[in-house]
Amino acid sequence: MNIQEAKEEIKKTVRAYTARTAAGTFRIPVPRQRPVLLIGPPGIGKTAIMEQIAGECGVGLVSYTMTHHTRQSAIGLPVLTEKQFAGKEYTVTSYTMSEIIASVYEQMEKTGCRDGILFLDEINCVSETLMPAMLQFLQYKTFGSHTLPEGWVIVAAGNPPAYNRSVREFDTVTLDRVRCMNVKPDFTIWKTYAVARGLHPAVLSFLELRPERFYVMEPGEKGFVTGRAWEDLSEILLTMEELDLGVEDVLFGQYLQDEDTATEFTFYYRLYEKWKKELKPEQILTGAADMPTNLPSLPFDERLCIVWLLLQRIYTMSGAYEEQQKLAESLRFFSDGLSRDLAALSTEQLTALIDDRLDSRRRSLAVRKENGLLDAKEGEREQRLFEVIRGCREEIRLGGAADAFSGKSEEERVQAERQRSELTAAIRNGAAFIKETFGEKQELVIFLTGIRERSVCAGILKREPELRTQAEQLLGADRREAELRKRLE
């Protein structure tokens, strides 16, 4: 299965394992809740999906890389205690609480979530002394004398032996007590994630052209490339370009540790740089640019660069619109929370109420941030929201109208509507430019596919009858051609 299928299956598992009857007992008894074991090559996103699953299921998450643990830290340290048996006193050995299980209880205290996921990465690379305890934990959910709290689902991950010399294979007895999912790399699935994350257009367009370069890893060979490498390379490229630091060729080989892949991408990136300077996407998307006459005769890889330069600008605009829309909605929600008879409150009472609600929101965000459930975009949006709220509070404190929030909320909504209109025009102009330049060919198919892969843009496309019909005709024909080619092969 691919990583998206694994994610959906784990989400179902979490919901099934944490489901309770009306009496409060688990629908599936804890002894029958088999741990999930993800087995797949490195860098395909096994770790990344766990945060997504926890956030989407609304449960806690504790992650551990098991290669960092010793038997003592996992099980706990032995302590001597006195106990009586049959009237006689004996000295017996017990254990302090496992560091791993203690972390689960700490997470429950911080978040208030009684259900959660305990993710144990690289589980088949643990030391020889820890392996028996790990097998016992997978079977009985117990380390030493301490049991994992009910409502917590165990998900473990490991690499196949072909990719890691340190792994230990599980025996049949253990495998009979877990749900084993074998995960394989899949560029199509990764691309959907990459587009949503806003990865660098040179990375996306190169892999669109050369999908076989997405994941390069042959057992026993030194050279390799993973999805993680492409994502990290994208981050450094975007940052260095924004800071105008200059990108040297040596950078690519530091991330793409396969010589052929690094060489090909270096050449492609220089093409991307060239067209980024010569083409002006902002002007094209506003309908104000003159069309260069040599574009139709360009090699396909350069035409692809041009398409993705336009898509990058549209994605940037769609991201800004989406954030503005969410900001306006958050402000409206905050304003509705103050919907009591504001006129009956004094200025001091109203500002105190605003401060109280603001502090409550800030504490909630701090907990989410500490537990890795607050992404960078949401953090930035919340910071903007706090600034707007503080501005309205200051306006009220200085004698302004009590409805300052509703006025500001409307202002932010109008700004979001303006951005939506600009995004709509950009999509329309981009499609017209590509159609006029290259015709209704592969370039337009790629452009419209890229639009549909971004949910905000896809929503706008649905409201544009002419573009929607064109997309349905082109993408439908393209899909039928691909299916026919597959059958012939």
- 3-class DSSP state for residue 299? coil
Q: What pLDDT does 339 receive? A: 57
Model pTM? Answer: 0.73
Give the pLDDT band of residue 277 (cuts 50, 70, 90). Answer: confident
Report which of 165, 149, 183, 169 is spatially closest to residue 36, judged by C-alpha positions.
183
Please tell me which residue, 130 or 21, carries the higher pLDDT value.
Answer: 21
pLDDT digits (tens, 9 = 90+) for 246-265: 889 899 999 998 888 999 99
At the topology level of CATH, where does 3-69+104-184 sit?
Answer: Rossmann fold (3.40.50)
- The packing angle between helices 300-336 and 376-397, to 10°, is 40
* Higher local confidence (pLDDT), 433 or 402: 433
Name the least confident of 186-190, 405-409, 482-486.
482-486
More confident residue, 90 or 236: 236
The b/e string for 263-276 (b: 16+ C-beta within 10 A; e otherwise) is: ebbbebbebbeebb
How confident is the model at residue 279, as a pLDDT? 79
Distance in angstroms (rounded) separating the CA atoms of residues 390 and 442: 50
Strands 152-158 and 179-182 turn out to be unpaired
Label residue 134 exposed, middle or buried (CB < 10 Å: 0-12, 13-18, 19+). buried
Q: Hey, what are 237's tokens? A: 């490229």
Whether the per-residue pLDDT at 89 is higher than 50: the answer is: yes
Model confidence pLDDT, tens digit, residues 354-372? 888 888 778 777 766 766 6
CA distance 168 to 138: 15
* Dihedral (CA of 292, 296, 302, 307) sign: positive
How far apart, in whole angstroms, are the C-alpha atoms of residue 237 and residue 54? 29
pLDDT in tens, 35-51: 888 888 877 888 888 88
Percent of the chain with pLDDT over 90: 5
Query: For residue 489, what pLDDT is reported?
Result: 44
Q: Which pLDDT value is given to residue 293?
A: 65
Q: Which of 126-135, 162-171, 194-203 has the lowest mean pLDDT?
A: 162-171
**Average pLDDT score over the chain:** 80
Per-residue pLDDT, averaged over 388-411, amounts to 75
Residues 255, 229: Cα–Cα separation, whole Å: 6
- The residue-averaged pLDDT of 108-116 equals 81
Answer for the pair 403, 335: CB distance below 8 angstroms, yes or no: no
At 121-159, the pLDDT tens digits run 887 777 777 777 777 787 778 877 778 888 888 898 887
3-state secondary structure of 168: coil
Return the pLDDT at 487. 41
Structure confidence at residue 116 (pLDDT): 87
3-state secondary structure string across 65-134: EHHHCCHHHHHCCEEEEEEEECCEEEEEEEECCCHHHHHHHHHHHHHCCCCEEEEEECHHHCCCCCHHHH
Amino acid at 378: E
